[in-house]
Structure formats: C-alpha cells, structure tokens
Copies of this chain bind each other. A is one copy, B any other.
Amino acid sequence: MKIPVVTQILKANDSVARENAVLFEERGVTLLNVMASPGAGKTSLILATAARLDEGLRPGVVEGDVASSIDADRIAEAGIPVVQINTGGNCHLDAPMLRSALEHLDLDALDLLFVENVGNLICPSNYRLGNDTAVVVASVPEGFDKPHKYPGIFAKADMILVNKWDLADVFDFDLDFFTRGVRMVNPEVPILPVSCRDGYGLDAWVSWLESRIPSPVPPGV
C-alpha cells in the first residue's frame, strides 16, 4: 500500500511544480534549488553568491527548515527579500509549499530565486519545485564518500559544489574518489571546489550561474 500512495504524492507534486515553472517563466525568474546535508553551508553559499551577482540581477530567497528562522534572519540582515518555510517534521520542501511561499514575494522584482531546501541528502531529490536548476552543496568535513552513499541526489544535480575547500588538507579530502562516485550516476555535471570562508572558486561558480539566467527582456519589447 505504501508505494502507490507515495507515487500519488509525487505525481501531485509534479503537477504543481509544472504550474510553478510556468509562473517563473512568465515572470522571468530563474529557480535555484539548493540541496545539501545539514550544515554544509547552504546559507553561507547563498549570501556569498548574492554578494557577487551582476548588479542587474535581483536575488530572492525561500528558506526551508524543519524549525527556526535562523537562516532567514541572516538573509534578511543582508537586505535580500526572503520567506521562511517551517516544515514541522517534514524532511523536504515540495512544490505546493513553494507555491504558498511565493504569495509573500514580489516575483516581478526578482531575477533569481534561491530555494534553500531542508538539510537532507535523500528526500529533497524526489520533489521538483518548478523548472529547477539543482545545486548540491557537499562539504569537505562530511567526507569524500558521500556520492557513493547517497547517489540519488548527486544524480539529479546540475552543479555540485564542494564547500569548505579551505579545509581540504585538514580532512585529507580525496576529490578523485568523490568525483568517481559522482560520475557513476552523473557523467557530465560540473564539480567545483569552493570556500565561502576565503572565496575560493566562487567567481567560477557565479559565472556558471549567471550563464544560466536568461537576459531580461527590456520593457516594451
């Protein structure tokens, strides 16, 4: 009985995700679904990225957490429009949750919407939110075996960042082993070491991201 019910939930989610995708397309907003383990540095990455974006690109953030508004408070302090979703016990964001959050954002004032998913390397990968660009933020202290152990989320990534790269030596991080795990499920995805602490790799990441954002259509065209 369990599996058919889950399938229905996923189908219902995908239906709302398609509606979200149409809405983002109409409003000219690019959706970034940021997924990671707890504490990999998703919020720091979003803040560091927003600070480096081309001036013409206006970011917004939806924060997903089981509880608390700690991350949303950090984003708001940086002057970025943000909505917090508290999922209660739920282990992932889904498309209907995102749709509810969108009622509190002015999409016409945004070009790029970061959605910080709940910290979890498993469940979020099953739930599309819209026409997602999926970014998985791995981090050095978690260890280099994670793609081997949690292949599902790495399979769906459009970009994989390896954060806290300034600690690669401290943790003897084996990027080759990490990369082999990714390549078993995702042959083409770019893998970029970055550090939100010292800025390493962030320019390359932001260039890649900006290349995926369509140029805005001038008013009246």
- Give the B-binding residues of A (Cβ under 8 A): 1-2, 5, 8-9, 37-39, 65-68, 70-71, 89-91, 118-123, 126, 139, 141-143, 145-146, 148-152, 164, 167, 170
A149-B67 in contact given A5-B1, A37-B37, A39-B141 (Cβ < 8 Å): yes
Q: Which 5 A-B pairs have the closest CB atoms?
A: A39-B142, A141-B141, A91-B122, A68-B148, A37-B38
Copies in the complex: 2
Q: Which residue on B lies nearest to A44, using beta carbons?
A: B143
Q: Are B142 and A38 in contact (CB under 8 A)?
A: yes
**Interface centre among A38, A70, A118, A143, by most B CB within 10 Å?**
A38
Q: Which B residues are CB-close (under 8 A) to A150?
A: 38, 66-67, 119
Q: Which B residues are CB-close (under 8 A) to A141?
A: 39, 139, 141-142, 164, 167
Q: Which B residues are CB-close (under 8 A) to A71?
A: 149
A85: min CB distance to chain B, Å:
12
Q: Which B residues are CB-close (under 8 A) to A67?
A: 148-151
Q: Which B residues are CB-close (under 8 A) to A68?
A: 145, 148-149
CA distance A9 to B2 in the complex (A): 8
A149-B5 in contact given A122-B91, A141-B164 (Cβ < 8 Å): no
Q: Are A121 and B5 in contact (CB under 8 A)?
A: no
CA distance A1 to B2 in the complex (A): 12
Q: Which B residues are CB-close (under 8 A) to A90?
A: 122
Q: Which B residues are CB-close (under 8 A) to A143?
A: 39
